[in-house]
Structure 1
Amino acid sequence: MSFVLNAYCGIRFCCPDATHWEYVICILNPNPDAMSKMITENASEEFLHSLSNYCAIQGFVEDQFGLGLIARAVEEGISVINPLGIMIFNMGGRPGQAVCERLFERRGLRINKLWQTKILQAADTDISALVEIEKNSRHRFEFFMGLVGDAAYSALRSLLERLENPNTRKDARIFLAELHKRFDSKEASEKCLETYHFQIEDIYVEQYEGFEKRKKLTLMVIPSIFIPEDWSFTFYEGINRHPDSIFKEKTVAELGCGNGWISIAIAEKWSPLKVYGLDINPRAVKISWINLYLNALDDSGLPIYDGEKKTLLDRVEFHESDLLSYCRDNHIELERIVGCIPQILNPNPDAMSKMITENASEEFLHSLSNYCAIQGFVEDQFGLGLIARAVEEGISVINPLGIMIFNMGGRPGQAVCERLFERRGLRINKLWQTKILQAADTDISALVEIEKNSRHRFEFFMGLVGDQPICARTAWTYAKAGGRISHALSVYSCQLRQPNQVKKIFEFLRNGFHDISSSLDLSFEDDSVADEKIPFLAYLTNVLKEISFFPYEQPAGSKRFRSLISSFMRTYHRIPLTADNVVVFPSRTVAIESALRLLSPRLAIVDEQLTRHLPRQWLTSLNIEILWSISVIKRHAHLKSSYISVGFHISLKKRMSTSNPWSNLATNVYSQCTLLLSYSTKDIHYLYPTVYGCIVNFVVTRMVYSDLEVAFVISEEATMFKALSKTVELLQGNTAIISQYYYGCLFHELLAFQLADRHPPAQRVDEKAKTRKAIGFSSSAISVLDHAELSINETSESSLIHMDVDQSFLPITTPVKAAIFESFARQNIAESETDVTSGIKQLIHSSYGFASNGNTELIYADCPEALFNKLVLCCIQEGGTFCFPTGSNGNYVSAAKFLKAVIINVQTNPEVGFKLTEKTLANSLENVHKPWVYISGPTVNPTGLVYSNEEMKTLLTVCAEFGARVVLDTSFSGVEFNSKGQDGWDLDATLEKLSSNNPDFCASLLGGLFFKMLTGGIKFGFLLLNQASLVDAFHGFGGLSKPHRTIKYTLKKLLDLQEGKSKDLVNAIAEKKELLESRYKQLKETLEDCGWEVLEAQAGVSIVAKPSAYLGKNVKIKNDSSTRVIKLDDSNIREAMLLSTGLCINSAVWTGIPGYCRFTFALEESDFKRALDCITKFKSIVAN
């Protein structure tokens, strides 16, 4: 009857317009056969009455909880109810709230709990069926001992209302005093708890002295909250080991305050500014307030004032809060956080999914003090997930100089407990440690399960005197047999190292990157390593947070990085440099080789240690032992002109961390040169006031990110700077941007504390030295650099739009950002975690049908450009001819010319979109000696067309007939958006057949992942070689800058995500393809509207178009006070558009297709719109 009344009550007050209501039986009949009887009017009264208590099995999964009849009623209700109708059911809470609510939710129903109370279980209802279910499963039903607990709590809540009211506060406090006296003995107090479900007791704290010299606190407890015992007493003892100033005038929060005694004790003893006692249990908060009034007022109801004329009511507040949510939501910055919270996973995970409300059962609310749910942290496996979450929330709200203090049960082992804090950037101090008995009401079966499924062993002891640890399984068995088990209990004090930076890191992780928080490791044995790594990680998180893509940087290097280098040289070495005197290279070997290829000296004297990675063909020996007796500064007089001397010279001392990780390589390229071998800074100080030259420096870290290297060349000659900038663009593309970020961060740290402009600018001693004639550039270098269409060096004031670079400026996807950060945040990365070989082989096989065999070798580099140029050198060494189709990558063509390769152009036709055909290729190769054929595909750069599988098989067959070596460049493939019906290549069988027929034929696959994964500025190149002789020749040309392990880790993560068809990554790539298709259509439409002939594209990020309406017309370019007239053709239209609109494109000089220019369209959204406006603006300028 009470069930029916409660259901009616809910309808009456909460849902007056209900359209469907049922009261349904929720217990299986312990005698299933009884339910098979025919239900008729003449059946027995006992049987008919049983229908109101029991139900039969209905064939639903909910039968196991006795809810099968309700499940059937819901599904029948769905079939007959109005679409806007409402169903209301009475649900006995025995199966647990989560089970009850899931019954409705999994059938597509939104639910609203209208009412909840407790009722007595009907005496004539047999619950033995539920007992059987518990025996055969891990599920536990919920019953309570009588109704007294709720009645007592309701009375206490009413009492709190009187305490909160100033008019009734005094009388209510007097009542509590009288109540305390009524049950003043220990026996009476325990009887009160057993009978009336509350207890008032005194807690004596040894050596505790408050303002009134009291040594006790008077506290109330109820069964649904944590009762003070050894666990919390040990915690308070640990807090007591801090000096008295620890909490004085500080803002403090206590997590899991229970009945509030520790918060009150802290306020009483140390006079903090404010203590916030926080607990997720709403009943605990109410009882804490009662205890606050018990101790803030005396037995007469009068306030107790401290030395500052404040009461505990002025210093303490209690709030319902899931860990620190109250402080976060109210923007409260804390100076101290203390926490004594659960550290064992609930053996019944479903129980933790219940709604935590004031009306929840006493048993459930009390379980919150013993168990925690899975929190999504790696520490969950040890039961420490809630502590881990508390620490990370604490980092977000604590003052940078704040302190956190936590109680840690030693069950997982001390190393695990301490690592929880240290890997989050906290310095720890163990304040206190003891042993306590394991609470008898705490089920450790969850720890037993963890041991069964892992190699980890928890630590328990037999009683308090045992000193040999035992595992959870042994402890569980021992406890079942009646023994008492114990575990260590420690109190840790934690403080952030480099707090502002650590806070930035965790703010980044909270905003969408929680999944990678388990990879973060800010624990360091060497503080100097922490001083480097933590600021960089903070800077990296800021970069990844603030930017949606990596911005365009000149090939000479990041402007910020070059400015920091020049500032460092001015500040530490008094050398008057600017950013335009610095060119950045991936490594010193690349810098040396690039400089030597640019200058082509007759002889270069190179220190032996630096020759290991230079091309073997360059190396010879020269007997110059006599020079070693000559001093460093005078030695140049004994060298003849046209030498370049190269040595190494450590001149930059790391002033902040690791021991001498900086070194630099000095190179003077003038006709009289200096070979520097000293290890002090005095040489560079002596050299620079008088000598104008070129110095190659490199920085490499050994301890933080092993072998992460960046080199930079310093030259005060403008012509040298420009030439080196163009050289690095042709041979390397650019230097890894994050490497520049890392060392830029270190340079910034070295400069941040310096006072600006404290010294007058440094001056040259010998200004005439600027006029000395340097060694000239090679003839091929001069020709290529003068005519190649390379990047435009913009000034700091300009804001150019780059539709002339092969870089994606589309938003970087979240999986890519996560992988980048994780690669730098991890420590002790295993080699297998950076091995991308299997992933790339799988990618090559699935996309292009390239199979691996015994002769196959994969070679990796920072970028595809570097690998391509080594192939060109192999061609030159072999005496071959490099064949480029018209309509190829203009930078590749220029690079081959720069390296002095023999080149021919294979003419292509507009009728087929300037793609190679069988006929044009065969005609071009007829008289070519040792041809090397370059083919960009499946996606052609720059046209955006796609070679089909059949087209490629045909072209390879032609190449095999002439014994050609084929370079298949897939670097620009992977973003096909308009190539339906073309499923990639499957060339394995064709290549195997052709290779067996002609041994001279081979096909090498060049590729990169920056377009396929849309990684923006993160570049990576790979080269698949399958001919042993070519592999040997390739390795003969050293100097290849290999990708750092952080890049390989990033790419392996992305390859694994792609192979696993990660929804986030797959969706992100699909969205980008749709965006590129939309961009292509918009650009094509705008160009055609403005008089351009656009070649239809199918893929990639670029298109080509012919400016038919502009050729031969004059355009006036206004420049300050003068006006310049340009007669437009397919080579100077780039300059005209740049000067008149600020839009950078590639002309026919770059594309190699007469009359056609290239436009890339993977731009940031606002830049793309500006680019379209520039195209339209140029039309109007020409028209006028």
Structure 2
Amino acid sequence: MTAATATAEAVEEFLRKCEASGDEAYGAFRSVLEKLEDPSSRTQARVFLSDLQKRVDDSDECLNKYHFRIQDVVLDQYEDSCPIMVAGFSALTILFPSIGYQGRKKLTMMVIPSIFIPEDWSFTFYEGLNRHPDSILKDKTVAELGCGNGWITIAIAEKWLPSKILNPNPDAMSKIITENASEEFLYSLSNYCALQNVVVFPSRAVAIENALRLFSPRLAIVDEHLTRHLPKQWLTSLTIKGTDTENSSEHELTVIEAPRQSDLMVELIKKLKPQVVISGIGDFEAVTSSAFVHLLDVTREVGSHLFLDISDHFELSSLPSSNGVLKYLAGNVLPSHAAVICGLVKNQVNVFHYTGHLTVMLLQEEISVFSDQVIRWVSRFVYSDLEVAFVISEEEAIFKALSKTVEVLEGTTALISQNYYGCLFHELLAFQLAERHTHKEVQKHMNIHRDCEKAKSTEMIGFSRSAISVLNSAELSITETPNSGLIHMDVDQSFLPIPSLVKAAIFESFARQNMSESEIDVTPSIQQYIKSNFGFPIDINAEFIYADCSQSLFNKLVLCCILEGGTLCFPAGSNGNYVSAARFLKANIVNIPTESEVGFKMTEKTLVTILETVKKPWVYISGPTINPTGLLYSNKEMENILTYIIFELYYSILNICPTIFSMVIFLQQALENCGWEVVQSCSGVSMVAKPSAYLNKTVKISRHSAGSGEKTATEQIKLDDSNIREAIVKATGLCINSGSWTGIPGYCRFTIALEESEFERALDCIAKFKSIVHVVN
């Protein structure tokens, strides 16, 4: 056997080990690192790495299959250098400078994907540093924030020769990340935007209102500073009569405003025994955790759910003030009856500010800057109109229910807001939770706390009956499945290419800061638009209701209908998200039947019949394009039914977007070829079809282990309207909506607002499902 053959076999054996899991890949690279550190085996190990790099390439395929990637980071002009082999701060990372094209120096990295992969912003950050002379950091002590896998630290050490580079919080990092940390734990640490006991809401006000609607308590005590946006009919004075719940309706919800002072709040809780408490905390009480602990104890004793708001005391800063609640969370597990609300209302970040670049960097011995301009340390507000809120709970049932509630009532919190603040949290929150427990310690403490709570607490209310009914039956976005790479044709979001004008507007909105209130206020523009385009006179005192998405705005109309004692009338074949939201809000609902012969349109004859039997009707119609069927109302049809309706203007985009038109044709052909009865779509970004060829047939689906992904068993499913969605997801990873969502028995909804590659995968999934059913039958 030649040396080349032996090396090739060693490379293949190494890849087989890495293919098993990320943990196995980590172990394999640890052995390589040990050989690199040993002078007697260093040459052999370096040759092995070169052969390995030739065998694999820098691609997502290598990342997904072998759980690692070899990636080059081009640094700067070079003269001469030696290899550097290091273990990164947060994961095993092997880096060694090498000669690249055009005479540039580069770092070649082997990175394990389940931990930290260099992000685009890190290269931009390094590029900014690289524009300055080599002497800028020489012989200085540097603390580098957000090091990721450590590549920037190595690059700084190589180019600028500081005396040392400090880990900004070594004690916290040593406790968070250990040598034996599992792949799942490290992934959860890096995946800070995922659902991990944290629910993201558009704002603090939305989080509070949704929590109250989820529980629908007979009596709730809410901090007087947090009631401004609650429905006025909920609020009452401290003097109330008849707190007995025996004859009360679930629709009744009473909120008592209370002062923001823990001792007064505690007295009210003991006397009134509310089912839900939403409290803030005073400035003088926020420094320590004693007030929080007192509230936890008394609410547990009387059987109240506690939501504590810390928004006014939370700073997104690397030098935060003392926060008693965060100190408590660092050393204790949050009890099951309690949750923490954090709205980013202060929106404040401490930064170095100077002309040119904006960078957060701490130097121990002296401040070094990348400009000749004078530096000043400032506290500034970052995008004051870009608010999000977080609700943190250790109780799985509560945070899952809250995540479903916000999806039903608000849609999805803007991704821009989530990602923007996700980065800030990732970089800065570790400074405030320096003593966090490991995953195993948290589980141990949770079990102990649960046993103690059962012994000391009074029984608490659960979720309202209407909430449970809606959350169990609504077809929400699918996130938990053994299949990876889900294709979402079941969500009302557009993944189509963004026009360049929109991109420019988004960039400008982030590039500009310190805008005046008049520049942010959109009301004058809307008033002018309504007056010039529709001829409606606008009273200067008219109230405008705003929302982040159409779903949230629709819910505000539903609340208006409820206040007037009206009844919502939905044609069969309406947007299932809207129907679920109306049911969650406890609106009176009447369904208007539609027929397939007229494309599931609501006709004037049917509407008149329904309105004769309904008091104060509010009729919903999606027009001129019908969502989800994609059909169109003619002008005459619209004129005949434009009475007492909630009008959702859903513009057609088929006439202006040839790509969408071709996608409609391809999807229709794929469905028809696979035995689906398709309703011809004329507009919009969705269509409906009936799985006629699959009903009452049996399909075999493999079950997989949630941990390893290995096949564990096979189940048979007899297909009908109630399980067709579940069967398609399990068999192919394609997410659609069933007849329970569309309101049309037997007809499923497909959205086509996908990226081109995702759309092609969706077509393959449709064909794959046909082949599976065909094999069985």
Scaled by the length of structure 1, the TM-score of the pair is: 0.41
Identify which of 844, 848, 854 aligns with 2:538: 854
Identity of counterpart residues, as a percentage? 56
Please give the alpha-carbon distance, in whole angstroms, between the structure 2 residues aligned to 1:745 and 1:1074.
Answer: 37
8 Å CA contact retained: 1:563, 1:579:
no
Q: Per-residue CA shift, 1:680-734, capped at 9, x if unaligned?
A: 6335544744722222222221512124321111122222122111110111001
Please give the alpha-carbon distance, in whole angstroms, between the structure 2 residues aligned to 1:1157 and 1:690.
Answer: 42
Alignment partner, residue 698 of structure 1 = 343
Q: Per-residue CA shift, 1:240-298, capped at 9, x if unaligned?
A: xxxxxxxxxxx99xxxxxxxxxxxxxxxxxxxx9xxxxxxxxxxxxxxxxxxxxxxxxx
In structure 2, relative to structure 1, the CA distance for the partners of 1:806 and 1:770 (3 Å cut) is farther
Q: Kindly indicate whether residue 413 of structure 2 is the aligned counterpart of residue 735 of structure 1.
A: yes
How far residue 908 of structure 1 moved from its aligned partner, in angstroms, is: 1.3
Letter in 2 for 1:939: T
Q: Per-residue CA shift, 1:614-649, capped at 9, x if unaligned?
A: 111111121699999975997698255452111124
8 Å CA contact retained: 1:400, 1:499:
no
Q: Kindly indicate whether residue 647 of structure 2 is the aligned counterpart of residue 968 of structure 1.
A: yes
Please give the alpha-carbon distance, in whole angstroms, between the structure 2 residues aligned to 1:920 and 1:694.
Answer: 48
Q: Kindly indicate whether residue 205 of structure 2 is the aligned counterpart of residue 614 of structure 1.
A: no
- SS in structure 1 of the partner of residue 383 of structure 2: coil
Identify which of 765, 768, 776 aligns with 1:1177: 768
Alignment partner, residue 115 of structure 2 = none
Q: Per-residue CA shift, 1:933-989, capped at 9, x if unaligned?
A: 111111111011122222211111xx2xxxx3x21112x424133xxxxxxxxxxxx
8 Å CA contact retained: 2:570, 2:579:
yes
Question: What does residue range 271-420 of structure 1 map to in structure 2 within 5 Å?
Answer: 400=130, 402=132
Identify which of 738, 742, 746 aligns with 1:1151: 742
8 Å CA contact retained: 1:695, 1:714:
yes
Alignment partner, residue 199 of structure 1 = none
In structure 2, relative to structure 1, the CA distance for the partners of 1:629 and 1:861 (3 Å cut) is closer
8 Å CA contact retained: 2:341, 2:392:
yes
Please give the alpha-carbon distance, in whole angstroms, between the structure 2 residues aligned to 1:561 and 1:820.
Answer: 29
Q: Per-residue CA shift, 1:991-1028, capped at 9, x if unaligned?
A: xxxxxxxxxxxxxxxxxxxxxxxxxxxxxxxxxxxxxx
Alignment partner, residue 682 of structure 1 = 324
Q: Kindly indicate whether residue 649 of structure 2 is the aligned counterpart of residue 943 of structure 1.
A: no
Alignment partner, residue 744 of structure 1 = 422
Please give the alpha-carbon distance, in whole angstroms, between the structure 1 residues aligned to 2:574 and 2:640.
Answer: 19
Alignment partner, residue 1007 of structure 1 = none
Question: What does residue range 777-1176 of structure 1 map to in structure 2 within 5 Å?
Answer: 777-794=463-480, 798-831=484-517, 833-836=519-522, 850-855=534-539, 858-956=544-642, 959=643, 964=644, 966-970=645-649, 972-977=650-655, 1070=656, 1073-1119=657-703, 1120-1176=711-767
Letter in 1 for 2:198: V
Please give the alpha-carbon distance, in whole angstroms, between the structure 2 residues aligned to 1:776 and 1:499.
Answer: 41
Letter in 2 for 1:721: F
Alignment partner, residue 279 of structure 2 = 647
In structure 2, relative to structure 1, the CA distance for the partners of 1:1181 and 1:621 (3 Å cut) is same
How far residue 861 of structure 1 moved from its aligned partner, in angstroms, is: 1.2
How far residue 815 of structure 1 moved from its aligned partner, in angstroms, is: 2.3
How far residue 853 of structure 1 moved from its aligned partner, in angstroms, is: 1.3
In structure 2, relative to structure 1, the CA distance for the partners of 1:626 and 1:892 (3 Å cut) is closer
In structure 2, relative to structure 1, the CA distance for the partners of 1:686 and 1:631 (3 Å cut) is farther
8 Å CA contact retained: 2:699, 2:772:
yes
Q: Per-residue CA shift, 1:200-240, capped at 9, x if unaligned?
A: xxxxxxxxxxxxxxxxxxxxxxxxxxxxxxxxxxxxxxxxx
In structure 2, relative to structure 1, the CA distance for the partners of 1:839 and 1:682 (3 Å cut) is closer
In structure 2, relative to structure 1, the CA distance for the partners of 1:622 and 1:1092 (3 Å cut) is same
How far residue 842 of structure 1 moved from its aligned partner, in angstroms, is: 7.4
Please give the alpha-carbon distance, in whole angstroms, between the structure 2 residues aligned to 1:903 and 1:952.
Answer: 22
Please give the alpha-carbon distance, in whole angstroms, between the structure 2 residues aligned to 1:748 and 1:652.
Answer: 28
How far residue 1137 of structure 1 moved from its aligned partner, in angstroms, is: 0.7
How far residue 1100 of structure 1 moved from its aligned partner, in angstroms, is: 1.1
Indicate the structure whose relative CO is greater, using CA pairs within 8 Å and at least 6 residues apart: 2
In structure 2, relative to structure 1, the CA distance for the partners of 1:725 and 1:835 (3 Å cut) is same
Please give the alpha-carbon distance, in whole angstroms, between the structure 2 residues aligned to 1:1105 and 1:640.
Answer: 54
Please give the alpha-carbon distance, in whole angstroms, between the structure 1 residues aligned to 2:264 and 2:192.
Answer: 29
Q: Kindly indicate whether residue 342 of structure 2 is the aligned counterpart of residue 726 of structure 1.
A: no
8 Å CA contact retained: 2:561, 2:568:
yes
Please give the alpha-carbon distance, in whole angstroms, between the structure 2 residues aligned to 1:807 and 1:399.
Answer: 38
How far residue 758 of structure 1 moved from its aligned partner, in angstroms, is: 8.8
8 Å CA contact retained: 1:691, 1:769:
no
- SS in structure 2 of the partner of residue 923 of structure 1: helix
- SS in structure 1 of the partner of residue 538 of structure 2: coil
In structure 2, relative to structure 1, the CA distance for the partners of 1:1102 and 1:770 (3 Å cut) is farther
Please give the alpha-carbon distance, in whole angstroms, between the structure 2 residues aligned to 1:625 and 1:921.
Answer: 44
In structure 2, list runs of 5 or more residues that go unmatched: 1-75, 80-100, 106-123, 137-143, 149-186, 240-255, 287-291, 314-321, 349-380, 704-710
Please give the alpha-carbon distance, in whole angstroms, between the structure 2 residues aligned to 1:652 and 1:822.
Answer: 40
Please give the alpha-carbon distance, in whole angstroms, between the structure 1 residues aligned to 2:221 and 2:429.
Answer: 35
8 Å CA contact retained: 1:732, 1:866:
yes
How far residue 562 of structure 1 moved from its aligned partner, in angstroms, is: 10
In structure 2, relative to structure 1, the CA distance for the partners of 1:904 and 1:842 (3 Å cut) is same
Alignment partner, residue 391 of structure 2 = 713
In structure 1, list runs of 5 or more residues that go unmatched: 1-250, 253-272, 274-328, 334-393, 405-425, 427-496, 502-558, 566-577, 655-662, 978-1069
In structure 2, relative to structure 1, the CA distance for the partners of 1:710 and 1:1113 (3 Å cut) is same
- SS in structure 1 of the partner of residue 401 of structure 2: helix
8 Å CA contact retained: 1:560, 1:744:
no
Please give the alpha-carbon distance, in whole angstroms, between the structure 1 residues aligned to 2:638 and 2:581.
Answer: 25
- SS in structure 2 of the partner of residue 936 of structure 1: strand
8 Å CA contact retained: 2:279, 2:309:
yes
8 Å CA contact retained: 2:308, 2:341:
no
Alignment partner, residue 585 of structure 1 = 201
Please give the alpha-carbon distance, in whole angstroms, between the structure 1 residues aligned to 2:433 and 2:555.
Answer: 45
CA RMSD of aligned residues (A): 4.4
How far residue 675 of structure 1 moved from its aligned partner, in angstroms, is: 8.2
8 Å CA contact retained: 1:780, 1:900:
yes
8 Å CA contact retained: 1:667, 1:694:
no
Q: Per-residue CA shift, 1:370-408, capped at 9, x if unaligned?
A: xxxxxxxxxxxxxxxxxxxxxxxx99987536169xxxx
Please give the alpha-carbon distance, in whole angstroms, between the structure 2 residues aligned to 1:396 and 1:1130.
Answer: 55
Letter in 2 for 1:564: Y
Scaled by the length of structure 2, the TM-score of the pair is: 0.61
Question: What does residue range 753-772 of structure 1 map to in structure 2 within 5 Å?
Answer: 760=438, 761-762=441-442, 763-764=445-446, 765-769=448-452
Question: What does residue range 497-536 of structure 1 map to in structure 2 within 5 Å?
Answer: none
- SS in structure 2 of the partner of residue 735 of structure 1: coil
State which structure, 1 or 2, has the greater radius of gyration over its C-alpha atoms. 1
How far residue 797 of structure 1 moved from its aligned partner, in angstroms, is: 6.7
In structure 2, relative to structure 1, the CA distance for the partners of 1:1182 and 1:797 (3 Å cut) is closer
- SS in structure 2 of the partner of residue 1121 of structure 1: strand
How far residue 1092 of structure 1 moved from its aligned partner, in angstroms, is: 0.5
How far residue 877 of structure 1 moved from its aligned partner, in angstroms, is: 1.1
Q: Per-residue CA shift, 1:1039-1082, capped at 9, x if unaligned?
A: xxxxxxxxxxxxxxxxxxxxxxxxxxxxxxx4xx1111111000
- SS in structure 1 of the partner of residue 405 of structure 2: helix
Please give the alpha-carbon distance, in whole angstroms, between the structure 2 residues aligned to 1:755 and 1:685.
Answer: 7
